[in-house]
Structure 1
Amino acid sequence: MTDSIEPFHLAVPQSDLDDLARRLAAIRWPDRETVDDTSQGPPVAKLQALVARWREGYDWRACEAMLNGWGQHRTTIDGLGIHFLHIRSPEPDALPLLMTHGWPGSVLEFRDVIGPLTDPVAHGGEASDAFHLVLPTLPGFGFSDKPMGPGCDIGRIAAAWAVLMQRLGYDRWAAQGGDWGAGVTTTLGHMAPPGLIGIHLNMVLFQPTEAERAHADADERQMLADAARYDEQFAGYFKVQSTRPQSVAFALADSPVGLAAWIYALFQDVSDSGGDPEQVLALDAMLDDIMLYWLPNAGPSSARLYWEAAQAMRRGGFPLSPLEIPAGISMFPGEQLRLSRRWAEARFAKLVHFGEPERGGHFAALEQPALFAEEVRGAFRSLR
């Protein structure tokens, strides 16, 4: 049956790990950067430290066991095999919550919030805040299938996610996302499929209007300045992947260190860490995430989602009308693309939550799991 859900047990062949070890041992390092900061990208010393850990001490099998322990599954939707985690809460009245990752993230972005969200009582919370979690892997990422032709944009992904929730038997559910997950989740909100009661975003894809720019207050002017800095200094990956993803695909497929540097640059630039991601992210956590790109050779296919999104924008992009479904937003201070409450109110007709945590950046669930979990709980308390 094409709509069947099958258990997925991850067992990477040892030959794949041996091949990785050979490649890591044979790297030809670039010259050191000619500056003493991160303005040219990840410093050589940082990548050397990451690779040293990768070669000695890092344990992929521990990550593999963790993924298998959560309960992995695959199902085929719209011709593509979709990998997902499905973690049910011990609380019978838990709210089903679909959470979508972004790039260069993965389902492992949520590793430290799975416990608090599914079993809040065991983590100092209330049973009434519990969620059943569905964590799908985007097509072209991780152990989901790679699209073999054009057209797999966030609209198609959102439609697939609605089918997934229906297939799992959930007739009342919520959705959450940041990065591309925010795009998918916002699209779901505009689609309003049966059963979707509300959404939560920790990033909002939007463009301020000329009037908003002209009448921005001091905080909003800082948001505009941060967004401009992101575009000028940090968005090189975005522009390459949106226009010529195949140009970088060869390096991402052939060189594990090239892939790691491409991903590490984002951990460096958009985490709330002052350009030193090891302050908020463990090396092993970063390596686990990188491995979910390296092992299935998903660096090239994941990059193409940017190209797909660019084509979709040329066809019309997001609806301009305010989102009618209830929405909660959490603006973490280290997120480069932020919006104010009043800008949010102009775009979300039923804004039920607007949080501004004290710490956290683009990878909020991974950087500040306790704050992230409380934001998600607060966003849906009034909708249960």
Structure 2
Amino acid sequence: MPTPPHITPFRIEIPEADLTDLRERLARTRWPEAEPVADWSQGVPLAYTRELAEHWRTTYDWRKTEARLNGHAHFKAQLDGLGIHFLHAPSPHPDALPLILTHGWPGSIIEFLEVIGPLTDPTAHGGDAADAFHVVLPSLPGYGFSDRPAETGWGIDRIARAWARLMADLGYRRYGAQGGDWGSMVTASIGRQDPEHVLGIHLNMPVAMPDVEAMRDPTPQERQALADLSSHSEWGAGYSKIQSTRPQTLGYGLADSPVGQLAWIVEKFQEWTDCDGHPENALSREHMLDNVTLYWLTDTAASSARLYWESYRSPDLSEVGVPTGCSIFPHEIIRSSRRWAANRFTDLRYWNELDRGGHFAAFEQPETFVEEVRRFFRLVRE
């Protein structure tokens, strides 16, 4: 099938002047005083932030990551009036299943770089050709190299419709979808809006609330999930309150200060990963900086936060009837129970609660993530 004219090749080429500017800004950082606590309870500690910023300024090499990204084919598609960037990695196996992967905040396509190879070419990674996928990996509107919406209305359902259109334009009549964080919400919406083309959806953060009956007699695991959610709402959700109400005001500081952008994201890598207190126990320093640098170089602090303004306060939790699989990682910020999920996802085919991992599943546990995706889609492949 020929590529439609509204889909054009794209290459990532950051001007050297932007990298020079980043290093100069880092050198001129005005630092606050150190925190009066001995942990991360007030945010990212000053000493670690200074250490990470100095590594970013003097050692980190964006060009290496840029070359790795450009090792895949990238495109821009005009979808519903907006230019959407996506990475397209077709499988060498002709019977591969098309699969669209959607990231969230503060993630990006960087999260999935380790899993593209095993998903597209399993035989080259010790797997079976029957598990192969054609991978489509878009950047959310206002994120990465996608255009930044200049109008309101780009919420979850509109993004899901754009993703369905993208898969159709690529000639993929039957496909699967996968996501976590905002990607979970987009993926659920794809399943609800495009069931005639979606074979199944896989989620690593299914969002489903307990009904009255479930609340009358919660299991110990459900009680713990509710307690953790309550703690997160009290102590860990300040970022979402700001991003869902004043993304523009927040954006001025993050767009002007690379250290501000660094700390805003790294705090979540520490808090949401299965890292035993330190983010580098879950993600390498280079991996974290890859993701932070993408946000900085694309100047998407404000535009990425606007998705919260569009969708956070009234999420659509209506029923989804397509076959669904869920992988629950123990350090996830919102954990559903199977019976809560089954009330929303009415054809729940797969459920697995893992021993290790957190919110950034493909980033933290790429091998486990790949195996979970394979296991679910084995159940629904035609």
TM-score (norm: length of structure 2) = 0.97
Corresponding position of 2:242: 240
User: 1:207: Cα distance to partner?
Assistant: 2.6
Cα contact 2:207–2:336 (8 A) shared by 1: no
User: 1:352: Cα distance to partner?
Assistant: 1.1
Corresponding position of 2:267: 265
CA distance in 2 between partners of 1:21 and 1:194 (Å)? 50
Which of 27, 48, 51 is residue 49 of structure 1 equivalent to?
51
Aligned residue runs from structure 1 range 201-350, under 5 A? 201-310=203-312, 313=314, 317-320=315-318, 322-350=319-347
After TM superposition, the structure 1 stretch with the greater mean CA deviation from structure 2, 124-133 or 337-346, is 337-346
Corresponding position of 1:182: 184
Cα contact 2:208–2:341 (8 A) shared by 1: no
SS at match of 1:370: helix
CA distance in 2 between partners of 1:210 and 1:248 (Å)? 37
Cα contact 2:44–2:267 (8 A) shared by 1: yes
CA distance in 1 between partners of 2:111 and 2:186 (Å)? 16
SS at match of 1:112: helix
Corresponding position of 1:367: 364
After TM superposition, the structure 1 stretch with the greater mean CA deviation from structure 2, 107-116 or 2-11, is 2-11
CA distance in 2 between partners of 1:340 and 1:272 (Å)? 19
Corresponding position of 2:142: 140
CA distance in 1 between partners of 2:24 and 2:208 (Å)? 44
Change (3 A) 1:169 1:302: same
Q: What are the Cα deviations for residues 193-247 of structure 1, in whole angstroms up to 9, with x where unaligned? A: 5421110000012332343233111111111111111111111101110111112
CA distance in 1 between partners of 2:126 and 2:147 (Å)? 38
CA distance in 2 between partners of 1:59 and 1:157 (Å)? 32
Amino acid at match of 1:129: D
Change (3 A) 1:131 1:115: same
Amino acid at match of 1:150: T
User: 1:2: Cα distance to partner?
Assistant: 8.1
Corresponding position of 2:379: 382
Which of 148, 155, 161 is residue 159 of structure 1 equivalent to?
161
SS at match of 2:114: coil
Amino acid at match of 1:360: G
After TM superposition, the structure 1 stretch with the greater mean CA deviation from structure 2, 272-281 or 202-211, is 202-211
Amino acid at match of 1:334: H
SS at match of 1:295: helix
CA distance in 2 between partners of 1:238 and 1:266 (Å)? 12
CA distance in 1 between partners of 2:139 and 2:94 (Å)? 26
CA distance in 1 between partners of 2:235 and 2:274 (Å)? 16
Q: What are the Cα deviations for residues 139-191 of structure 1, in whole angstroms up to 9, with x where unaligned? A: 00010000001111011100000010001010110000000000100111111
After TM superposition, the structure 1 stretch with the greater mean CA deviation from structure 2, 94-103 or 110-119, is 110-119
Change (3 A) 1:2 1:251: farther
User: 1:4: Cα distance to partner?
Assistant: 2.2
TM-score (norm: length of structure 1) = 0.96
CA distance in 2 between partners of 1:193 and 1:79 (Å)? 24
Q: Matched residue pairs, number?
A: 379
Amino acid at match of 1:332: F
Corresponding position of 2:92: 90
CA distance in 2 between partners of 1:342 and 1:10 (Å)? 44
Unaligned runs of 5+ in 2: none
User: 1:278: Cα distance to partner?
Assistant: 0.3
Change (3 A) 1:138 1:221: same
CA distance in 1 between partners of 2:241 and 2:21 (Å)? 31
CA RMSD in angstroms comes to 1.3
User: 1:319: Cα distance to partner?
Assistant: 4.7
Cα contact 1:2–1:76 (8 A) shared by 2: no
Cα contact 2:195–2:322 (8 A) shared by 1: no
User: 1:3: Cα distance to partner?
Assistant: 4.7
CA distance in 1 between partners of 2:354 and 2:267 (Å)? 24
CA distance in 2 between partners of 1:166 and 1:207 (Å)? 32
CA distance in 2 between partners of 1:2 and 1:172 (Å)? 18
CA distance in 2 between partners of 1:3 and 1:224 (Å)? 49
Amino acid at match of 2:11: H
The runs of at least 4 aligned residues of structure 1 exceeding 6 Å deviation read none
CA distance in 1 between partners of 2:10 and 2:196 (Å)? 28
CA distance in 2 between partners of 1:237 and 1:96 (Å)? 34
Corresponding position of 1:72: 74
